[in-house]
Structure 1
Amino acid sequence: MNYLRENVIYPPDAKAKGIAGKVFVNFVIGKDGVVRDVKVIMKVHHLLDKEALRVIETMPNWTPEMQRGKKVSVSYNIPINFILKDK
């Protein structure tokens, strides 16, 4: 997802402490396309978890899914990778 690549900010304190990992986030895209019910389902560290929540909660609206011609709410689980790169 380009949105995540462009908007995730590696927390400076986590970077300084060498904290890395994959945070899994669950959220629902409502019938209206709005992101809601965001929660971390697989934690790494509170600094990374907080950033993962922030970036998902601030996502722009999605186009709602359709089922049999009607808009439906859909739940998603996505990983957000925090990778430290060697200098």
Structure 2
Amino acid sequence: MKKTLLSSMIIILMGLLGACSSNTSDKASLPEQSASENETATPVAIEVPDTLGKTYDAVEVMPEFPGGTEALLSFIKGNLKYPQKAIDEQTEGRVIVQFVIDKTGKVSSPEVIRGVTSELDQAALDIVSALPDWKPGEQDGQKVNVKYTLPVVFKLI
């Protein structure tokens, strides 16, 4: 019993010594500040420019494909490559692709948000990546990045 009590006391003392030594080393590494320094310190607001730019879901003036919606549909119809494997397997469907039309009108960050098969999904991403530059969207008179969602329909005739 004496041995257990003595062991417990030693462990407690070691813990206290460790706490005291770490406490004093923390204080030693911190610079001393006078009361007047604390009173004169003023928080400063720093304005960080928005270099990435916000991406909008909807804006006052939506992006426009050159020539309008009919031209967009014509571009897709004329350039879409139906994967041979999907033709062989008689696979049809609608792939929903979301992408960003940036401030300069370039298409970026295409991603499938609802797919059919990996072959059709890739073909949809390929056609979206091949789109020419658009007229960018605008918000408050400024050109902005805008998310755009496009269904790409695969139908065998």
TM more than 0.5: yes
Q: Measure, in 2, the Cα distance between the counterparts of 1:65 and 1:77.
A: 14
Unaligned runs of 5+ in 1: none
1:66 is matched with: 138
Q: Which runs of 5+ in 2 are unaligned?
A: 1-72
Between the two proteins, the alignment pairs up a number of residues equal to 85
Larger radius of gyration: 2
Aligned partner of 1:6 among 51, 55, 78:
78
**Residue 116 of structure 2: aligned partner:** 44
SS in 2 for 1:72: strand
Deviations 1:43-75 (A, max 9, x none): 100010000000101111111112221101110
Identical counterparts, % of pairs: 38
Match of 1:82, as an amino acid? F
The answer as to 2:139 corresponding to 1:79 is: no
The AA in structure 1 aligned to 2:155 is I
2-structure distance, mates of 1:80, 1:26: 11
Q: In the alignment, residue 152 of structure 2 is paired with which amino acid?
A: I
Report the equivalent of 1:21. 93
Counting strand residues as a fraction of each chain, which structure ranks higher?
1
Calculate the TM-score normalised by the size of structure 1. 0.93
- Segments of 4+ moved more than 3 angstroms: none
The 3-state SS of whatever aligns with 1:73 is strand
Structure (1/2) with the larger helix percentage: 2
Most deviating of 46-55 and 61-70: 61-70
One-letter code aligned to 2:112: V
Whole-angstrom distance in 1 between the partners of 2:141 and 2:114: 34
Q: Cα offset for 1:83?
A: 0.4
Task: Give the distance between the partners of 1:74 and 1:28, measured in 2 at CA.
Answer: 5
Higher relative contact order (CA 8 A, sep 6+): 1
Q: Secondary structure in 2 aligned to 1:53?
A: helix
Structure 1 counterpart of 2:47 = none
